[in-house]
Amino acid sequence: MRYQLLGRSGLRVSELCLGTMTFGKEWGWGADKHESFKIFETFAREGGNFIDTANRYTEGSSEKFVGEFIETDRDHWVLATKFTLKDRNDDLNFAGNHRKNMFRSVTSSLKRLNTEYIDLLWVHMWDNTTPAEEVMRGLDDLVSRGIVHYVGISDTPAWVVSQANTIADFRGWSAFAAIQFEYSLLQRTPERDLIPMAKALDLAVTPWGAIGGGALTGKYLRGEKGRVPENSIRRNEHSSIIAQTVVEVADELGVTPAQVAINWTRHRNQVMIPIIGASKEHQMLDSLGCLNFSLPEEAINKLNAVSQIELGFPHEFLKSDGVKEEAFGGLYEKLDNHRV
Ligand SMILES: NC(=O)c1ccc[n+]([C@@H]2O[C@H](COP(=O)([O-])OP(=O)(O)OC[C@H]3O[C@@H](n4cnc5c(N)ncnc54)[C@H](OP(=O)(O)O)[C@@H]3O)[C@@H](O)[C@H]2O)c1
């Protein structure tokens, strides 16, 4: 395991993050406490120090398990949790990014995690309601009080993240150091704006769903069972062709499909720290094997080709000959470096 700085911060995190959405059986497809601990131990043994949970996961069991597992060496761990999603039915203020829910949710998380501080607090998703100023001011207050050390944002449009960090910077508040979103061979749309934004703003990217919830291991092509339902977009005809290609590349390289899928998300020239999910210890062991190699260019090209997406406007327009040649006078050809 090697370590990376978490975006615009001095915090050292392992190059893989442990996802714990599978800790607890409340959602029907997770691991019991014993198996969860084995997954955790395997990750820890390999040198992982970065762990991701959320107030909502498995109705609080995930945070409780994590709190117990890290208790003997709390300060070693970079503990990340999230707020935003509802903790109570039929009560509007028990969800959202507003200050009241932020402070209430964090207080509940601290109890479940049995800790006095959270290393990284994620806004779980944008609620399209609370003003960015309110969110950033609330997060900065948590940091000032020593309850939270760093802040990050998940599942939010790029323009909102840019606006929020600009506000924080100008006011001297804590800005987001990291961003979390779905990114895999089955979900490449973050390449349009989120990934270039993260590079420009020096945000660490922690992609989730790197193996498509298991679909990219090829298990469904072989008729095996798992948590992704048959009618999911992750198992449609196009996704199956991509999964088949992952299996072929893995066979050619003598590695496993999970390792190929994870390493594809890591090949970019910026900080990419996939959050690895597993419901069984052997899956975690398999995934950690990605640390032993990097994908050769040929394999990356093959995977890119089968999973290609349209970048859409304005990206395709700006790359078009009409603009590159005519409007900019061949700028990109003559200039040795350009920014995106
Ligand atoms: N911010 C967000 O909105 C958000 C959303 C989702 C997740 N996350 C975070 O990201 C983490 C990972 O997300 P994820 O679980 O959706 O994505 P994932 O890593 O793509 O999928 C994990 C699932 O794939 C299967 N699997 C894993 N390793 C395998 C292997 N070697 N061979 C065969 N199957 C394997 C298991 O499912 P089976 O049990 O079916 O075998 C496992 O639960 C979560 O734990 C959570 O921390 C964040």
Ligand 1, atom 28: closest residue by C-alpha = 283
Report the separation in Å between the CA atom of 263 and the middle of ligand 1, taken as the mean of its atom positions: 15
Report the separation in Å between the CA atom of 301 and the middle of ligand 1, taken as the mean of its atom positions: 25
Angstrom distance (rounded) from CA 250 to CA 270: 24
Q: Provide the pLDDT for residue 338.
A: 67
Residue 214 in contact with ligand 1 by CB distance below 6 A: yes
Residue 278 in contact with ligand 1 by CB distance below 6 A: yes
pLDDT digits (tens, 9 = 90+) for 302-319: 999 999 999 999 999 988
Same domain, 60 and 109: yes
Which structural domain range is residue 109 located in?
Answer: 3-309
Ligand 1, atom 10: closest residue by C-alpha = 208
Instruction: Please name the residue that has the structure tokens 């996939």.
Output: 274
Residue 130 pLDDT > 70: yes
Same domain, 206 and 220: yes
Report the separation in Å between the CA atom of 318 and the middle of ligand 1, taken as the mean of its atom positions: 36
Ligand 1, atom 12: closest residue by C-alpha = 277
Same domain, 329 and 296: no
Same domain, 335 and 273: no
Same domain, 243 and 286: yes
Paired sense of beta strands 118-123 and 78-83, if any: parallel
Same domain, 212 and 142: yes
Q: Which of 202, 336, 288, 320 lies closest to 17 in space, CA to CA?
A: 288
Atom of ligand 1 nearest to the CA of 210: 20
Indicate the pTM of the whole model: 0.96
**Mean pLDDT, residues 244-260 taken together:** 98
**Mean pLDDT, residues 222-248 taken together:** 97
Atom of ligand 1 nearest to the CA of 181: 1
Q: Give the residue numbers marked as catalytic.
A: 57
Residue 205 pLDDT > 90: yes
Q: What is the CATH number of the domain that holds 272?
A: 3.20.20.100
Atom of ligand 1 nearest to the CA of 225: 40
Angstrom distance (rounded) from CA 248 to CA 262: 15
Ligand 1, atom 42: closest residue by C-alpha = 278
Residue 219 in contact with ligand 1 by CB distance below 6 A: yes
Same domain, 285 and 325: no
Ligand 1, atom 35: closest residue by C-alpha = 214
Binning pLDDT at 50, 70 and 90, where does residue 173 land?
very high
Mutate to test the pocket of ligand 1, among 22, 246, 272 (most ligand atoms within 8 A of CB): 22
**Mean pLDDT, residues 295-306 taken together:** 98
pLDDT digits (tens, 9 = 90+) for 68-94: 999 999 999 999 999 999 999 999 999
Binning pLDDT at 50, 70 and 90, where does residue 246 land?
very high
Same domain, 145 and 267: yes
Residue 98 pLDDT > 60: yes
Q: Provide the pLDDT for residue 245.
A: 98
Angstrom distance (rounded) from CA 38 to CA 20: 12
Q: Provide the pLDDT for residue 340.
A: 54
Q: What is the mean pLDDT of the chain?
A: 96
Residue 225 is which amino acid? K
Same domain, 276 and 331: no
Same domain, 280 and 325: no
pLDDT digits (tens, 9 = 90+) for 145-162: 999 999 999 999 999 999
Preceding peptide of 314 cis, ω within 30°: yes
Residue 211 in contact with ligand 1 by CB distance below 6 A: yes
pLDDT digits (tens, 9 = 90+) for 180-197: 999 999 999 999 999 999
pLDDT digits (tens, 9 = 90+) for 14-67: 999 999 999 999 999 999 999 999 999 999 999 999 999 999 999 999 999 999
Number of domains forming the structure of the chain: 2
Same domain, 158 and 16: yes
Same domain, 203 and 133: yes
Sign of CA dihedral 71, 4, 176, 259: negative
Instruction: Please name the residue that has the structure tokens 């009409």.
Output: 322
